[in-house]
Amino acid sequence: YNVIIRLIKRGIYAVDPAVSKLLPNTRHELLTMYRYGITSLTLTNRVAQQFDASEASCLDHLERRESELKWAGNGAFATRNLTEGSVVAPMPFLHIFDRDNVNMYSEVQSESEDMVVPNMEDIIGKQLNLNYCFGRSKLPILLCSYSSAQMVNHQSAKACADDNCLNGAGPNVGYRWASPLWDGTNAEWRNKSIIEIQEQTSRGLSFELYALRNITVGEEITMDYGDEWDEAWRKHVVEWSLNSDNANANAAYTSVVEMNSDDNTHVPVKTKVERESDPYPANIGTVCFYWVGPPMQKKIEAWRSVVE
């Protein structure tokens, strides 16, 4: 029976995945649904609200909007009032044990194949993902967040007198080891050596962002990335501003959102010859996706019959 049920679900999934998910997976579930109705399948898996409050952490405290910080791009904003000390966002980590994995390399033409490959001897920078990783300069391991906490921008606690400080109040969240309420294995992993962690086949370490003070709904969430990051950022801003090439590139910058807007969606893609005299913005790359629909399929079949 279970095999037949799975085959039926697979066929329905090809037509309507949403309907397929509503159907039972086993003979037992089928009989339960027949006797008590389809809601019986979902009610048994409901989680009580009191369980949520004591055993879990909310993921919807943050929403993404354009940051109020200069040059920051997008940022995280509170969707509700948050009290001092409360968890703002969980931060589960991916563990990276070789920092070379975040290197960026120049490109060279492959000698054996007609393709461009990385030049492993010429490091030109680091991947942007490094901005969202915790680490110590003398340790090889990086802890990289993959939750909504990535949206939280930097604000220095020490240098909050400059013009890039929100309300002069400094960062409003800090970070700490995750609470056992939502990550029960965190304490165990913290006692492992780097070698022991590297031998694991899953992730286990987590931080959580918590409110340093009461936060009001709509307020931008910021944290202090640390002195080393702050100094590197300020140096980058100065060097970028002094470089005329960067200034020209910034003036010609066009966002991907603008390129993919309704006004540009149906604009023909420029040919190679057209791009030589009227190139796309330097920060934009184009990719072509195509598929064969029914009309084209008929033409292909007709062409094949003529050839054969």
- Read out DSSP for 199-259? T-SS---EEEEEESS-B-TTPEEEE---HHHHHHHHHHHHHHHH-HHHHHHHHT---HHHH
The pTM assigned to this predicted structure is: 0.63
Give the span between the Cα atoms of 74 and 256, in whole angstroms.
Answer: 14
Confidence of residue 194 (pLDDT cuts 50, 70, 90): confident
Check whether residue 6 and residue 62 sit in a common domain.
no
Please name the amino acid found at residue 227. Answer: D
Check whether residue 31 and residue 106 sit in a common domain.
no
Confidence of residue 254 (pLDDT cuts 50, 70, 90): confident
Return the residue matching tokens 């390399």: 105
Check whether residue 209 and residue 301 sit in a common domain.
no
Q: Which residues contact 103 (CB under 8 A, 6 or more apart)?
A: 123, 125, 126, 127
For 105-124, what is each residue's pLDDT tens digit?
988 888 777 778 888 889 99
CA–CA–CA angle 225, 226, 227 (5° rounding): 140
**With contact defined as beta carbons under 8 Å apart, do 237 and 105 qualify?**
no
3-state helix, strand, coil in the chain (%, to 5): 40, 20, 40
Check whether residue 168 and residue 143 sit in a common domain.
yes
Give the span between the Cα atoms of 86 and 176, in whole angstroms.
Answer: 11
Check whether residue 130 and residue 266 sit in a common domain.
no
Check whether residue 102 and residue 136 sit in a common domain.
yes
Q: Of 164, 134, 174, whose CA–CA distance to 69 is shortest?
A: 164
Last residue of some domain: 227, 257, 292? 227
234 in any annotated domain:
no
If phi > 0 it is left, if psi is from -120 to 50 it is alpha, else beta; for residue 125 that is left
For 76-93, what is each residue's pLDDT tens digit?
999 999 999 999 999 999
Last residue of some domain: 195, 227, 259? 227
Please state, for a pLDDT cut of 90, what percent of the chain lies above it: 19
Last residue of some domain: 193, 227, 261? 227
Instruction: For residue 41, give its domain range.
Output: 2-46
Confidence of residue 306 (pLDDT cuts 50, 70, 90): low
Check whether residue 181 and residue 248 sit in a common domain.
no
pLDDT at 82: 94
Check whether residue 76 and residue 195 sit in a common domain.
yes
Q: How many domains does the chain have?
A: 3
Check whether residue 91 and residue 192 sit in a common domain.
yes
In three-state secondary structure terms, 144 is: strand
For 258-297, what is each residue's pLDDT tens digit?
777 767 666 778 888 888 888 888 777 777 766 655 666 6
158 in any annotated domain:
yes
52 in any annotated domain:
no
184 in any annotated domain:
yes
